[in-house]
């Protein structure tokens, strides 16, 4: 056996076998590189903002495929155009790779109007936000069910549950006033941040009329109230459903306000609006200059 392994015939056959195997591996390497176009990449073009009607014609001019995987509705892009793509423009990709596109829909997504009747104001607001609708104005009607939803309006008309609405539509609510015509003290809004004031007024079933923003604004989270209409009057009372016009600015150094009134805690008990305390407290970041 050992004599055969070390014979010239066996060694010759082994050398031929190794040569054939090596040649095959080399040919396979180059063939795989040719088939997969190894090392050959192209730059992914920019589809952003391209109208959908032009996609097919554009796809014929580049060695890539496109696939529309999603649609959104945004005011940041023209309707019916590409709003996002993956891979991003300018990145490298092999020929024939798929580019996944998200397009901006021509019309907003539609959602079903939920049934808000007999829900409390807080519950109704949460349900609207969950389905993608916005809370509009609030009005009151004599009814024993205080702050319960009696009707729901869109565009001045009552809407029934299940009716299709465009996502983001404003829904106005009609609430029961409890047959008591409760009046509450005039709120003091000066120097408070806009987001806190918005939440506070909504919690008291009060409406925001006009919001006037002084420019320039670089950070909307720092907007503070420097004027309110009706103006604060400790002798004056308001009722649920009343509206306030709010004037805000980012530069708070020139806002004149009463620190004692600013620090005053807003409590639902003192306003006669229930037992649950307001979740907003005055902020402590005063401008000392």
Q: Give the CATH number of the domain where residue 137 resides.
A: 3.30.10.20
Residue 171 is predicted with a pLDDT of 95
Q: Write out the residue range of the structural domain in which residue 216 sits.
A: 184-271
On whether both 147 and 214 belong to a single domain, the answer is no
Kindly state whether residue 288 falls inside one of the protein's structural domains: no
Mean pLDDT of 225-244: 90
Kindly state whether residue 1 falls inside one of the protein's structural domains: no
Query: For 131-163, what is each residue's pLDDT tens digit?
Result: 989 999 998 887 777 889 999 999 888 999 999
On whether both 168 and 196 belong to a single domain, the answer is no
Kindly state whether residue 70 falls inside one of the protein's structural domains: yes
On whether both 53 and 92 belong to a single domain, the answer is yes
On whether both 198 and 167 belong to a single domain, the answer is no
What total number of domains does the chain contain? 3
**pTM: predicted TM-score of the whole model, two decimal places:** 0.47
User: What is the Cα–Cα distance from 133 to 123, expressed in whole angstroms?
Assistant: 14
Kindly state whether residue 262 falls inside one of the protein's structural domains: yes
Query: For 159-184, what is each residue's pLDDT tens digit?
Result: 999 999 988 899 999 998 775 566 78
On whether both 223 and 157 belong to a single domain, the answer is no
Residue 289 is predicted with a pLDDT of 35
On whether both 193 and 263 belong to a single domain, the answer is yes
On whether both 156 and 218 belong to a single domain, the answer is no
End residue of a domain, out of 75, 104, 133: 104
On whether both 239 and 263 belong to a single domain, the answer is yes
């Amino acid at each position: 056996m050992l004599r055969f392994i070390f014979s010239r015939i066996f060694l010759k056959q082994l050398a031929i076998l190794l040569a054939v195997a090596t040649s095959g591996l080399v040919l396979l390497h180059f063939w795989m590189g040719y088939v997969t176009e190894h090392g050959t990449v192209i730059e992914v073009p920019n589809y952003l903002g391209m109208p959908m009607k032009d996609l097919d014609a554009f796809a014929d001019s580049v060695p890539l495929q496109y696939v529309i995987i999603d649609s959104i509705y945004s005011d940041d892009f023209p309707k019916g155009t590409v709003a996002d793509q993956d891979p991003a423009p300018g990145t490298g990709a092999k020929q024939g790779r798929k580019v996944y596109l998200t397009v901006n829909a021509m019309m907003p997504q539609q959602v079903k109007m939920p049934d808000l009747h007999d829900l409390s104001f807080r519950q109704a607001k949460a349900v609207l936000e969950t389905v993608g609708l916005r809370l509009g104005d609030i009005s009151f009607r004599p009814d024993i069910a205080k702050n319960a939803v009696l009707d729901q309006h869109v565009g001045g008309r009552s809407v029934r549950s299940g009716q299709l609405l465009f996502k983001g539509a404003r829904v106005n609510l009609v609430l029961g006033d409890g047959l008591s015509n409760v009046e509450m003290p005039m709120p003091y809004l000066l120097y408070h941040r806009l987001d806190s004031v918005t939440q506070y007024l909504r919690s008291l079933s009060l409406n925001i009329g006009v919001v006037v923003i002084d420019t320039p604004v670089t950070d909307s989270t720092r907007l503070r109230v420097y004027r309110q209409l009706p103006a604060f009057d400790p002798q004056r009372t308001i009722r649920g459903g009343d509206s306030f016009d709010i004037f805000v600015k980012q530069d708070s150094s020139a806002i004149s306000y009463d620190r004692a009134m600013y620090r005053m805690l807003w409590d639902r008990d003192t306003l006669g609006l229930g037992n649950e305390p307001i979740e907003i407290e005055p902020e402590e970041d005063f401008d000392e200059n």
